[in-house]
A and B are shown apart, each in its own frame.
Chain A
């Protein structure tokens, strides 16, 4: 290490000395040898021991240097400018403090001669600091020349070697750590031990299994003997099995008979239907099995079935698979309920307009009818002969016989007025009595349909020697007072518009006909609500009536029919009235959308009179 320092010193000392220039130029002269040396070294690189020899050479050089250094007296002035000692005769002091004398300078001629004598003279350099001449070795000269060229001093040094990264980075956060090895590196881990204990325990207890689970057979005999019924009960709520899908009919065939395949028009007409009504499946016909395509909706239908199975609420519903006949009520045989009117026996023809009303005389010998053609006719029942015609000139809306057989007086509502007439029937005695009655006793008849008002005037009819009662308001109904029974029960019929009412002769039962074609039977002992509601007529009921003797009642309606019912009221209060529909009486024709306008029973016989809008009165008998 000492040598470079020395050289440095040499360099420094020779900074301002002129020898360097000469050395440069001389160096140039001897370039051939230098280059030779270089090449020699280059070739030496190839051989293995080349560099080593060089190193030995260099060492030898260094040794010679040091020996040279030790040999001569050494200046100790230090790093001071040499100019300070310019004028002195010494250059400095040696290690013992003695002055080192300047040497005598050679003359230029001497120098030139010496240079010419020895060829190593160019290597001699004057060391101004020590004031001596130093001869540079070949190696040193070479180094100097390399340095001057800007190369590395030694030729063996490669300035750009390939970089070798000796450090291993794998698994190291930081390349180097200066931390001391921790204790845990040397002591067995407590946590590991714990973990092992845990695992051992788990293995011992069978929590961790090393062998693969045994392959159990997927299927085995699940259902053993079905004989033991006790175990075979299904748990839980009652199971409702899903209904099976419908089985396909002929129309689903790939090749149905022709009649199952709808025509194109029919298929088109499906488009006009509501979507719900449209047939889901349209049959098609394929000529052969090979032409049948895959069914597109197969998956969809399977899915729908799945949805039905798990989303549809299931309830057990009783399937009504009964004969419709069994729905109809069991009625007693009609034969047992005879007699009742069944067939048309007589027709009373003569009126020219709809017969609005009719009435049967108390003895049952005569009937009177009022028509909207303005006439009142009196007929003999048995023969059908028209006995008398009263032309009253106005619409007869209602007519009624006097209930007492010995006074054959007719009451009729004509227009707005009530007309009392002598019917002029019966033997002479009764006729006389009637005449007398109508002539004299002016206050005898009483109207119980309307309130007795002072506004009623009694006027003698001029034409038929009768009496006319003139009301201010229009009278609608006329009934003769029979006994003076009144009923004051409030009945809730639930009907829309009551058109007619009739009271059972017993008094406790009432039938009510309404304009919506319903007939209500009220049992006033039972309830205020209808006991039976019969919806038989399709149009308005015009009249309902009870028979006075037989357990019969009838209703007439605008739909040209009259119904006859058996209506038995028992004396026993526990037994409800028995109602049996018996017969539908037809025969009347509709005119002006009106049918049968009135019906009345014969007082003694099971006969029914009906007055039709077709201006005919019919008598229905057994």
Chain B
């Protein structure tokens, strides 16, 4: 008798009834595996792990309810229709019935995913929570080469680019960017939208190569869903700040691949609550400033834009004004902080720095930015530029009025939420280590040196900036604060360094004495400060205490159940691993330091 014998006529029950293998599911739905995959991806159905795998251990199981969920989806019928349509077209071509083929090709069956999105994410917050993968994927495809004949359609890549720019424009506009990190894989951003932390990865702005080891069908299906999702999310977000979506962009800027800038300008104009006349006049001024040859079609486009914005702004221009001012007051710490970080600073990007990323970050933190190239809002010769971002070995022509820093400075400032001193980031110098803002150093148990430096600077800034609240001329104040805080910082740094050194020596001593960190604290009291000679004695003295502690542990372990003991062991192993990792880090650090000092001496 087979293992799972069921008498004839008896219904399945339990796991055998609840779960179905993938092969069976495919035949149950009467679709092909490819369509099944597509459906699963679009509907967000994933395999589940039954308690008992009736059909075997190496199979994928789906919950029967999930499969029924797929079965009742109109999408399945739509896919069939599309298949039939393909066949019809093929047949028409084969029979040289060109009329029919044309007619058919004119009206291909299509489907929309909005229903699926609302089904998967009933509330907006749900959608925001799941946005990480979506953004990463869209940004990845936006970085792919838009070449005809490749496996990804050019149009989709352009669409991805547009969507990502729209998203970035929103984030930048609402100052909700929180953290940035340049990794080897690309640039990570973390934003906070409606209380949700959203992290995404943008590949470096270099040509990606389409590799053969990935299945583009799967990725494109995911992308299809993500594109729609991001579109709707952008719509909702734009709607929430009273900007029309989809935005109409300045074609000139778009052509110059400064879409993001164009978008942010669009948004700022869209947000301007003043009456249309003044709005128009500022527009005109801007256009005059930026482009001498304002063409007729361009002005038409502007007009169209303005008309688009009118309905949104007309009903209560004043109300918007009030709202905005109120919002500014109410807005909590992080948004305000990030808005004020680069306030009053003017940046100029050199040709070689990653423009898209910096065009996104700097406005998100309140700075104004321009770049080398066409369509830039201001020239390099502008006297008001405070910082120029360059990434080259040497800078030949130097304006004395501004500082020349490497791009990492921006990222570090953003993470620290503080204008860092620029000495370390000057052109031609190897910048200080770039640290991840996503790591909780305390939890990790190891704090890199530069993180401590930044911490100290932050503390110093806090203590110094707070007593000087004022609403006067901000730029001036900022500069004052800067100089003062810098001075303080230097002093503080020195003091802290001394302290750190002392502490480090002490710790070293303790290590030599063979103490573990766990019992340092309770022994600190009775260890005399000047022990050097009687180390061995100490060790002996420690032994019984340590022994006692060990014994106590042993004893309590002996009564534990096997399972708990295993758990405890696993925990200990984990701790041990962490510790050893930190140990290696420390060793490497020591080695590096010693080699550096040796170099200095020689």
Contact = CB atoms under 8 A, between A and B. Distances in A.
Interface of A: 213, 218-223, 226, 231-237, 239-242, 244-245, 247-250, 252-263, 283-284, 286-290, 292-303, 305-307, 309-315, 320, 324, 327-329, 331, 532, 534-536, 563, 579-584, 586
A259 B41 contact: no
Contact of B114 (A222, A284, A302): A222
Contacts of B140: 298-299, 302
A302 B137 contact: yes
Given A241-B130, A298-B203, A331-B559, A252 B354 contact: no
B436 A295 contact: no
Main secondary structure of the interface of A (DSSP, over half): loop
Contact of A583 (B120, B181, B555): B555
A85 to B, nearest CB: 80
Contact of A237 (B66, B206, B435): B66
Contacts of A307: 218
Interface in B422-444: 430-431, 433-436, 438-439, 444
Contacts of B222: 306, 309-310
9 tightest A-B contacts by CB?
A247-B438, A257-B433, A536-B558, A294-B206, A303-B214, A259-B589, A232-B122, A313-B47, A223-B124
B438 A302 contact: no
Contacts of A287: 430
Interface string B515-549: 00000000000000000000000000000000100
A44 B309 CA distance: 92
Contacts of A255: 182, 408, 431, 433-434
B46 A295 contact: no
Nearest to B48: A313
B117 interface: yes
Contact of B60 (A234, A235, A286, A311): A311
A258 B557 contact: no
A236 B122 CA distance: 12
B215 A253 contact: no
Contact of A329 (B133, B234, B559): B559
A467 to B, nearest CB: 44
Instruction: Determine which residue in A220, A298, A327, A535 has the highest number of CB atoms from chain B within 10 A of its CB, and name it.
Output: A298
A296 B203 CA distance: 10
Interface string B143-158: 1000000000000000
A349 to B, nearest CB: 22
A257 B596 CA distance: 14
Contact of B236 (A218, A223, A245): A223
A328 B557 CA distance: 7
Given A250-B436, A257-B448, A289-B407, A584 B555 contact: yes
Nearest to B46: A314
Contacts of B114: 220, 222
A417 to B, nearest CB: 39
A258 B182 CA distance: 16
Contacts of A244: 132, 199
Interface stretch (B88-96, B167-175, B378-386, B560-568): B560-568
Contacts of A221: 235-236, 239
B560 A257 contact: no
Interface in B90-135: 107, 114, 117-127, 129-130, 132-133
Instruction: Determine which residue in B185, B211, B213, B234 has the highest number of CB atoms from chain A within 10 A of its CB, and name it.
Output: B185
A301 B185 contact: yes
Contacts of A313: 46-49, 60-61
A236 B66 contact: yes
Contacts of B41: 306, 309-310
B154 to A, nearest CB: 17
Contacts of A302: 136-137, 140, 214, 219
21 contacts: A219-B246, A231-B122, A242-B46, A242-B133, A248-B438, A250-B435, A252-B183, A253-B182, A259-B448, A289-B354, A289-B391, A294-B207, A298-B143, A300-B214, A302-B219, A303-B215, A306-B41, A307-B218, A313-B49, A324-B572, A329-B556
B433 A256 contact: yes
Interface of B: 37, 40-41, 44, 46-49, 60-61, 63, 65-66, 69, 107, 114, 117-127, 129-130, 132-133, 136-137, 140, 143, 181-186, 188, 199, 203-204, 206-211, 213-215, 218-219, 222, 231-232, 234-236, 239, 245-246, 352-354, 391-392, 406-408, 430-431, 433-436, 438-439, 444, 448-450, 547, 551, 554-560, 564, 567-568, 571-572, 585-586, 588-589, 592
A45 B307 CA distance: 85
B589 to A, nearest CB: 4
A324 B235 CA distance: 48
Given A236-B66, A248-B181, A289 B558 contact: no
Given A302-B136, A309-B133, A329-B560, A257 B204 contact: no
Nearest to B117: A222
Contact of A299 (B184, B210, B245, B392): B210
A295 B185 contact: yes
Instruction: Determine which residue in A244, A247, A261, A536 has the highest number of CB atoms from chain B within 10 A of its CB, and name it.
Output: A247
A509 B391 CA distance: 81
A295 B203 contact: yes
A544 to B, nearest CB: 14
Contact of A253 (B181, B209, B353): B181
A314 B48 contact: yes
B558 A254 contact: no
Given A232-B123, A253-B436, 8 more contacts: A247-B439, A294-B203, A299-B211, A303-B218, A306-B219, A313-B61, A536-B554, A581-B555
A426 B293 CA distance: 127
Contact of B558 (A299, A306, A534): A534
A543 to B, nearest CB: 17
B185 A312 contact: no
A534 B506 CA distance: 42
Nearest to B186: A295
A292 B204 contact: yes
A582 B555 contact: yes
A307 B568 CA distance: 33
Contact of A219 (B122, B235, B353, B449): B235
Contacts of A312: 46-47
B185 A247 contact: no
A355 B259 CA distance: 90
A313 B59 CA distance: 11
A481 to B, nearest CB: 34
A252 B234 contact: no
Contact of A248 (B204, B239, B353, B436): B436
A259 B586 contact: yes
A242 B435 CA distance: 27
A263 B557 CA distance: 40
Contacts of A532: 559
Contact of A327 (B49, B66, B188, B568): B568
Contacts of B547: 586
Nearest to B181: A248
B434 A223 contact: no
A326 to B, nearest CB: 10
Contacts of B186: 295, 298
A298 to B, nearest CB: 5
Contacts of B122: 231-234
Given A257-B433, A309-B133, A247 B406 contact: no
A257 to B, nearest CB: 4
A310 to B, nearest CB: 5
B209 A296 contact: yes
Nearest to B407: A289
A259 B588 contact: yes
Contacts of A256: 433-435
A482 B434 CA distance: 80
A306 B49 contact: no
Contacts of B352: 290
Contact of B560 (A292, A295, A327): A327
Contacts of B207: 294
